Amino acid sequence: MVFSSITFLYYFLPIILLLYFIVPNKLKNFILFLGSFIFYFYGESKFSILLLFSCFINYISALLIERYRNKILSKIILIFTIIINLGALCYLKYFNFFIENINSIFKSNINLLNIIMPIGISFFTFQTLSYVIDVYRKKVKANTNFINFSCYVCMFPQLIAGPIVRYSDINDELENRKVTFDDFGTGVERFIIGLGKKVLIANIIGEMITSFNNLNNISVLAYIIIGLGYTLQLYFDFSGYSDMAIGLGRMFGFHFLENFNYPLIASSITDFWRRWHISLSSFFKDYIYIPLGGNRVNKIKHIRNIFIVWLLTGFWHGASWNFIIWGLYFGIILIIEKYFILNYLNKCKILNHIYSIVLVVISFIIFSCSDMNGVFVFLKNMFGFNNLPFINSETIYYLRSYIIVIALAIIGSTPLLKVIKNKMENNSIFNIVEIIGCLFILILSTAFIIDSSFNPFLYFRF
């Protein structure tokens, strides 16, 4: 089940909200946990037991870690729990990748296993890891209520595609929260905006990419549009999901942290990664980068730390070499920025944005292409090294068809609309227009969902 589906919008969500608000406070977490389990079971029935096992093993481990605090057994339990969590993730997500590469390197013929990766395993694994590590570090206390803890792990708003919610960020709200009318209204608005970003922008840009890829006579401009399209599609797809997750959380009384902060206006790649997938960046910073020494070490070790983090960041996204290269690509750029050019970039107010968006677009070409040979061919064509015409009649025809959605996507990737809203929020007429606008987005999104073949969220595969 996905958020941008009729089943979720008009059956599951109304029912779960109704049940949630009619039961007494002591049963709200149980209803949310039960609804979340049904939500996951609907799409991943085979792996529902794995989700429950993850809840159980991390719940018990945290209690044992706290019970044997300051003893060697506490550390042994932590290491065992990390191995269990990462072992399951590596087996289900990466086992065949390792076998394929062993076969390729050693010319062996080891059979691949028929493994299907559970949706959302990367996200809920990182959430449970952060929880047990934080219990070990004494940042949070182990939750003694299995239903409350399982509600945190399984909570359907962020279960299958993030953001990665830390237990420390919502532990108080798990025990004691109150949904105000303003919170609920803000949540509904945020959810509808995210739905519109996914259905009315990301999906249509996905159709645009397919149209340009199928041109009989392709041009340099067509490749530029496709490259920009990859970036805009990924941004609106994933940020749209995060908006919906944050909005749903607000409806149930939870305040999830932001996951995106207009990354496409970044002034450097360093700035971009402060704004893109913030929950993942902060996870690797707090649990990998800082424990390795962060930037409080000599230059060689600092470079090593950056490489390790970005190798893991790329690998986290998928069992494919293009993701690993994508991560290392960013690692190399970040090292160059930190040691050579970041101060200069901060002084170039226009050029730094051009520099950033070009490198980001190239990165998402690497991210979206299945093999590196395809990436090199794409980049040669996009930069005009294969003697293609810069523009032709087919490119102009399809550009005219999609120019409005491209313009909306570019405007929507900047804070312009947010600035206008903040200036007008005390205007009663604007508030009415805002409500009407949300209803219009919901109706239009519903029509598009019914009318078109549905595209699942791109980050489900990670």
pLDDT tens for the chain, residues 1 to 462: 788 889 999 999 999 999 999 999 999 999 999 999 999 998 878 889 999 999 999 999 999 999 999 899 999 999 999 999 999 999 999 999 999 999 989 888 888 888 888 888 999 999 999 999 999 999 999 999 999 999 999 999 988 877 999 999 999 999 888 888 999 999 999 999 999 999 999 999 999 999 999 998 999 999 999 999 999 999 999 999 999 999 999 999 999 999 999 999 999 999 999 999 999 999 999 999 999 999 999 999 999 999 999 999 999 998 899 999 999 999 999 999 999 998 888 888 889 999 999 999 999 999 998 788 889 999 999 999 988 999 999 999 999 999 999 999 999 999 998 898 888 877 878 888 889 999 999 999 999 998 876 566 665 555
What's residue 462's pLDDT? 55
Helix and strand numbers, DSSP H then E, in the chain:
21, 0
What's the distance, Cα to Cα, between the start and end of the chain in Å? 16
- Predicted pLDDT of residue 459: 58
CB 166 within 8 A of CB 281: no
Give me the pLDDT at residue 455, please.
62
15/3 Cα distance (integer angstroms) = 14
The domain limits of the chain are 6-177, 183-267+349-461
Cβ distance 246 to 192 under 8 Å? no
In this prediction, residue 82 carries a pLDDT of 96
pLDDT at 62: 96
pTM of the model: 0.93
- 46 to 43, 115, 116, 117, 118: CA distances (angstroms): 9, 12, 10, 11, 9
Residues 93, 53: Cα–Cα separation, whole Å:
17
**Helices 351-368 and 372-382: crossing angle, nearest 10°?**
140
Q: Residue 98: its pLDDT value, please?
A: 92
Which pLDDT belongs to residue 160?
82
Say how far apart CA 365 and CA 373 lie, in whole Å: 12
The position carrying tokens 């002084």 is 347
- Calculate the dihedral angle through the C-alpha atoms of 287, 122, 236, 281, rounding to the nearest 10 degrees: 10
The structure tokens listed for 99 are: 């076998």
Show the 3-state SS of the chain.
Answer: CCCCCHHHHHHHHHHHHHHHHHCCHHHHHHHHHHHHHHHHHHHCHHHHHHHHHHHHHHHHHHHHHHHCCCCHHHHHHHHHHHHHHHHHHHHHHHHHHHHHHHHHHHCCCCCCCCCCCCCCHHHHHHHHHHHHHHHHCCCCCCCCCHHHHHHHHHCCCCCCCCCCCCHHHHHHHHHCCCCCHHHHHHHHHHHHHHHHHHHHHHHHHHHHHHHHHCCCCCCHHHHHHHHHHHHHHHHHHHHHHHHHHHHHHHHCCCCCCCCCCCHHHCCCHHHHHHHCCHHHHHHHHHHHHCCCCCCCCCHHHHHHHHHHHHHHHHHHHCCCHHHHHHHHHHHHHHHHHHHHHHHHHHHCCCHHHHHHHHHHHHHHHHHHCCCHHHHHHHHHHHCCCCCCCCCCHHHHHHHHHHHHHHHHHHHHCCCHHHHHHHHHCCCHHHHHHHHHHHHHHHHHHHHHHHHCCCCCCHHHHC
Residues with a catalytic annotation lie at 317
Residue type, 434: E
Whose tokens are 């929260």? That residue is 177
Side-chain half-sphere CA neighbours of 205 within 13 A: 27
- Which residues 6+ apart lie within 8 Å of 427 measured at CB? none
DSSP class of residue 252? T
